[in-house]
Amino acid sequence: MHHMDVKVLPAALRGVVRARSSKSQAHRALICAALADQPTRIVCEDESEDIGATVVCLSALGAIIARKGDSYIVHPILRNLFGSATLPCGESGSTFRFLLPVVGAMGREAEFQMKGRLQERPLSPLREELIAHGCEVSTHGSVPFRISGQLTPGLYSMSATVSSQFISGLLLALPLLQNTSYLYINESTELSPYIDLTLAMLETFGINIKYDGTLFTIPGGQTYKTPGFLHIESDWSGAAVWLCAGALSTDGVVCTGLDPQSRQGDRAITNILTKFGAKVNVNETEASVSGGNLRGTAVDAQNIPDLVPILAVIGAFAEGVTTISNAERLRFKESNRLSAATDFLHTLGADIVETEDGLCIHGGAPLSGGKIFSFKDHRIAMAASIAATMCAEPVMISGAEAVAKSYPDFYKDFAKLGGSIQIIWE
């Protein structure tokens, strides 16, 4: 991948943009389809590096996945395959954390290859649970990271405060085992919307799991049954970036193809922008946002970690104080997102400090411009690009190629909405 710098000149965004396919839903659909009894056609208009990683890893495990037009045709993994598989996860946390228990449940041996900060991202208590149930697993931080042995059914336990990806990974894996397993969730806070997405996808593939508020009961010996065809819904996380740009613009931005009934947690963006004082309209197929007199507000980021960088940008342009709380886990993303967001906004002239569990922003100061770094994080690069539209001077974003992790066409859409950019490849 070449190094890409993007120079953004001040120009508010306006117009209509189509929301992209949900990365969260696509990961889950591809994995379920690879474990199914028959081929599945998954309509997914957009590709990204993270989804590409899941496709490559499932192929290495023996699935045959072809891209045809706007769809993935997935021929499932044959059950009696053996031998070690090499799984290049890139920087995709979902790919690694979902497939680790799945490989264990298949009784396969595999080594996971990782890039960027993925090997440093937390893996406890998932790693310990896999070891307690029959697998041999590398020490945390090993590259490549190896797993072997056969995962066994039984009682698993997780805290609801750890990454939802650990719980999702086990929910995908445990139905494959011979006997019933139980997954106990202690400190029962409400489960993250991401777990909802996993349960919905498992249901689509005929997997039966019961949850009573603290305990998942996962019968063994289940077969993933293909629905034959499914359509990946649009992504509220990617759309949120454009809707926030709309909140900074008089003319506003319309994002089409969004389902207001989605189970994705990030659809909360419309309520949050309303709280900030933006003009928000949502109907069955699209959301539109335009600017108002934005004023600071308090945001609980527990279920919307991916929205924090772009909400910090809104906070910088809103009068008064914006606090973002319950965001500790952002320190372990593609970058330490709390310090990365603080860093780039501070460089542009915002009054922002990192708190114990989030950010505090005194908004309303005019932002100047300058040179900032993406920290190789797609969400930081996108948020910084939106901030730049409102700066007095040009902003140079170094490492902007990071957007390809979730949104390869980001700058194409940015320009379509009237963004003024110059791209510099090195």
Residues with catalytic roles: 306
How many Å apart are CA 415 and CA 398, to the nearest integer?
18
| Cβ atoms within 10 Å of 144's Cβ, excluding its own | 15
* Residues 6+ positions from 411 with CB-CB distance below 8 Å: 6, 385, 400, 403, 419, 421, 423
Q: How many residues does the chain have?
A: 426
Side chain identity at residue 50, one-letter code: D
Say if residues 238 and 274 touch (Cβ distance below 8 Å). no
| Residue 346 · residue 279 · CB < 8 Å | no
298 closest CA partner among 255, 365, 357, 338: 357
Cα–Cα distance between 169 and 11 in angstroms, integer? 43
How far is residue 23's CA from residue 25's CA, in Å, rounded to a whole number? 6
Helices first, then strands: H and E counts in the chain: 12, 24
* Residues 294-303 as b or e (16 or more Cβ within 10 Å = b): bebbebebbb
Tokens, residue 318: 């809103």
What strand order describes the sheet that includes 15-18? Answer: 15-18, 253-256, 286-290, 279-282
Interhelix angle 308-317/378-389, rounded to 10 degrees, is: 20
CB 330 within 8 A of CB 336: yes
Are residues 54 and 95 in contact, defined by beta-carbon separation less than 8 angstroms?
yes
33: nearest Cα among 218, 307, 229 = 229
Helix (H, G, I), strand (E, B) or coil at 13: coil
Between vectors from CA 388 to CA 387 and to CA 394, what angle results, nearest 5°? 160
Provide the token pair at 338: 């709390």
Q: Which residues are CB-contacts of 211 (< 8 A; sequence separation ≥ 6)? A: 191, 199, 217
Q: Are 26 and 44 in contact (CB under 8 A)?
A: yes
